[in-house]
């Protein structure tokens, strides 16, 4: 049986996360985070010079790579 991650599993996190917050969820280092972003494996929003990861994008990434 395939288990899908849901938004309820990320309850308590902001809808729009910083890379640091997303890294904590994924339990990965800074280099791996930016590698995922640069390889376009993890979709992000760019706001000025900053990346933000919507909770929905993080859920998509987790479900595709679980």
Domain positions in the chain are 13-65
pLDDT for the residue 65: 87
Tokens coding 63? 């479900």
Tokens coding 18? 């910083």
Query: Does residue 33 carry a pLDDT above 60?
Result: yes
pTM of the model: 0.84
17: exposed, middle or buried (Cβ count in 10 Å: 0-12, 13-18, 19+): buried
45 CB-near residues (< 8 Å, 6+ apart): 16, 51, 52, 53, 54
Query: Does residue 2 carry a pLDDT above 60?
Result: no
Query: Does residue 36 carry a pLDDT above 50?
Result: yes
């Amino acid at each position: 049986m395939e288990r899908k991650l849901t938004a309820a599993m990320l309850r308590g996190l902001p809808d729009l996360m910083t890379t640091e917050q997303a890294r904590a969820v994924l339990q990965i280092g800074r280099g791996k985070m930016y590698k995922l972003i640069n390889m376009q494996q993890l979709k992000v929003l760019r706001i000025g010079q900053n990346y933000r990861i919507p909770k929905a994008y993080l859920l998509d990434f987790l479900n595709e790579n679980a």
